[in-house]
Amino acid sequence: MKTPSQLLRDRLTPAFGTVAGVPVDPIVQRSQHADYQANGTLALARRLGADPRELADRILAEADLSGVVSAAEVSGPGFINLTLADEVIGALAGAALADDRIGVPRAARPDTVVVDYSAPNVAKEMHVGHLRSTVIGDAAVRVLEWAGHRVIKRNHLGDWGTPFGMLIEHLLDIGEGEAAHELSVGDLNGFYTAARRKFDADDGFKERARQRVVLLQGGDEATLRLWHLLVGESKRYFVSVYELLGVRLTDADFVGESAYNDELQPVVEELDKLGLIQISDGAKCVFPEGFTGRDGTPLPLIVQKSDGGFGYAATDLAAIRNRLRDLDATRLLYVVGVPQRQHFEMVFATARAAGWLTSQARAEHVGFGSVLGADGKVLRSRAGGTFKLVDLLGEAVDRANTVVSEKNPDLAAAIRTEIAEQVGMGAVKYADLSTDRVRDYVFDFDRMLALDGNTAPYLQYAHARIKSVFRRGDVAPVRDGSPVLITETAERALALELLSFPDVLADVVETLEFHRLAHYLFGVATTFTGFYEKCPILKAETPALRESRLALTDLTARVLETGLDLLGIAAPARM
């Protein structure tokens, strides 16, 4: 089925083509001045050196809009304002109801998308940056999968490198049993800090750590066993956080830095053969075009250090080559904080220069800002250290419990516990996803758990209230495709809003700006409130109207539930 904007575009495109002499996109968008607006006239007028209003008049005279609009007029500098016919809105809403994808098409040409996200570091606590990456990456996976793309998850775990020398020596010092215990209860920072302290204070320990790195890189079996122990315990802990969060990451999605070890040397050789390697201070470097430091000198991407070791950049080069060449990815996403933007741009530029990244694929750094505390500084725990993520999530659930108990004191304890988890996790995720991701945001429990405003609890509560209409009326939704009746402006506004869902999703698939979906859902919930206040549903004047309003109510619930699910947020049926 078509969305209103597609319907209008299909009718306007031939007229734009006739007037312009070449195919032109009419650019049909939602508008405050009419239902939709075609803005394509402005760019076209510039191109033709014509008067935009006159051009718009000619296009309107040419266009066949019969049976689709009830009004079409030129406005402002030359926009075309379009008002859909009520019957068209009613028919499309009826069709969306009968569709189990509520009008959202599957991608005609599916991408193979590799999503690199979460990526915490072994034996180190996940920080709020990892939380953001996990939550945003999960939304990306859900939206892209639902849109019909093939999604490959890559949790690029930091499980390799020089710190493992000191970590393994510390493990030997305290004993395997104790180490496993500390790591499995999530005391990752304690373990890491203790190792670090010894490394800094004790030269003997430092030397042992250095030798241990050599053994690890040389593939020494006893060392590898200890390394596996560290990695295994950390993974177990991270998976427990993922389960708590309800994200789709599992143990199978870890493809850590160590997975690329065997590809590092071949990558250097390949880059060398292509003439892309230069020696700088003894290190093998690539100088991708267009990257210079503040003083104007070209910036290096270090591929192999002077001591022969490989670092973060080399691993990312091996990873991108693997994803493009072996996984046949057509879209690569890296959900990593804004400070790493330049690193990824340099990796992409190198992959392009090497011929791995061609016009067949695109690579995107899906960057995000920092999480700030109430003081406007990067979020810290009360003790001043970094946050333990599980504590933060636990507190969200505790506070959600209070909110839910106050709102609905009659809920049975077991149900309340479950709902509190859904509300607490939802609040944390929504606070993150509803802000423009490249910006910093303030982590504020009171605001994210408020029952009014643009929050998860507000949307969850709106959804539960809509579901309660069906419970109270003891009716089941009818989804037979019959048109929805448009008798009131509030019905019309709601139907129109619901019919935009496919356009909003298409936009989010492209931009990965999840706040656009969040704001849309918020708009749906408030538009429903307007409808609910104006239009009796169960007590509608006629049975046909009651049926029709129940249909709109059902469609609202499904759009909210689907939209929230795509953000990784549950929509409980009662609250």
Task: Give the interface with ligand ARG as residue ranges (CB under 6 A).
Answer: 116, 119, 121, 156, 158, 316, 319, 334, 336
Among residues 367 and 481, whose Cβ is nearest to ligand ARG? Answer: 367
Supply the minimum distance, in Å, between the C-beta of residue 258 and ligand ARG: 12
Among residues 35 and 116, whose Cβ is nearest to ligand ARG? Answer: 116
The packing angle between helices 543-566 and 128-146, to 10°, is 130
Supply the minimum distance, in Å, between the C-beta of residue 547 and ligand ARG: 52
Query: Within 434-484, where are the H helices?
Result: 445-448, 456-473
Judge whether 40 and 90 are in contact, CB under 8 Å. Answer: no
CA distances from 386 to 127, 354, 391, 540 (A): 7, 39, 11, 56
Among residues 117 and 531, whose Cβ is nearest to ligand ARG? Answer: 117
Judge whether 538 and 473 are in contact, CB under 8 Å. Answer: yes
Residue 553 three-state SS: helix
Judge whether 195 and 167 are in contact, CB under 8 Å. Answer: yes
Alpha-carbon span 266 to 216, nearest angstrom: 20
Among residues 44 and 319, whose Cβ is nearest to ligand ARG? Answer: 319
Alpha-carbon span 547 to 480, nearest angstrom: 11
Supply the minimum distance, in Å, between the C-beta of residue 158 and ligand ARG: 4
Bridge partner residues of 71 (DSSP): 83
Q: Where does residue 134 rank: exposed (0-12), middle (13-18), buried (19+ CB within 10 A)?
A: buried
Supply the minimum distance, in Å, between the C-beta of residue 340 and ligand ARG: 7
Supply the minimum distance, in Å, between the C-beta of residue 216 and ligand ARG: 18
Supply the minimum distance, in Å, between the C-beta of residue 116 and ligand ARG: 5
Percent helix, percent strand, percent coil in the chain, to nearest 5 = 55, 10, 35
Q: Give me the residue whose beta carbon is nearest to ligand ARG.
A: 119
Nearest to 264 by CA among 309, 300, 226: 309
Number of H helices, E strands in the chain: 21, 13
Supply the minimum distance, in Å, between the C-beta of residue 448 and ligand ARG: 24
Alpha-carbon span 320 to 331, nearest angstrom: 11
Which amino acid appears at position 160 of this protein? W
Supply the minimum distance, in Å, between the C-beta of residue 174 and ligand ARG: 25
CA within 13 Å, CB half, 324? 22
Among residues 127 and 515, whose Cβ is nearest to ligand ARG? Answer: 127
Supply the minimum distance, in Å, between the C-beta of residue 337 and ligand ARG: 7
Judge whether 191 and 123 are in contact, CB under 8 Å. Answer: yes
Among residues 119 and 555, whose Cβ is nearest to ligand ARG? Answer: 119
Query: Within 274-410, where are the H helices?
Result: 312-321, 341-353, 389-407
Supply the minimum distance, in Å, between the C-beta of residue 445 and ligand ARG: 25
Among residues 248 and 465, whose Cβ is nearest to ligand ARG? Answer: 248
Judge whether 496 and 489 are in contact, CB under 8 Å. Answer: no
Alpha-carbon span 91 to 552, nearest angstrom: 12
Among residues 323 and 399, whose Cβ is nearest to ligand ARG? Answer: 323
Nearest to 333 by CA among 156, 146, 565, 566: 156
Nearest to 116 by CA among 293, 284, 347: 347
Judge whether 426 and 460 are in contact, CB under 8 Å. Answer: yes
Contacts of 86 (CB under 8 A, 6+ apart): 70, 486, 492
Supply the minimum distance, in Å, between the C-beta of residue 60 and ligand ARG: 51
Supply the minimum distance, in Å, between the C-beta of residue 259 and ligand ARG: 11
Among residues 344 and 461, whose Cβ is nearest to ligand ARG? Answer: 344
Among residues 37 and 155, whose Cβ is nearest to ligand ARG? Answer: 155
Among residues 121 and 322, whose Cβ is nearest to ligand ARG? Answer: 121
Among residues 58 and 343, whose Cβ is nearest to ligand ARG? Answer: 343
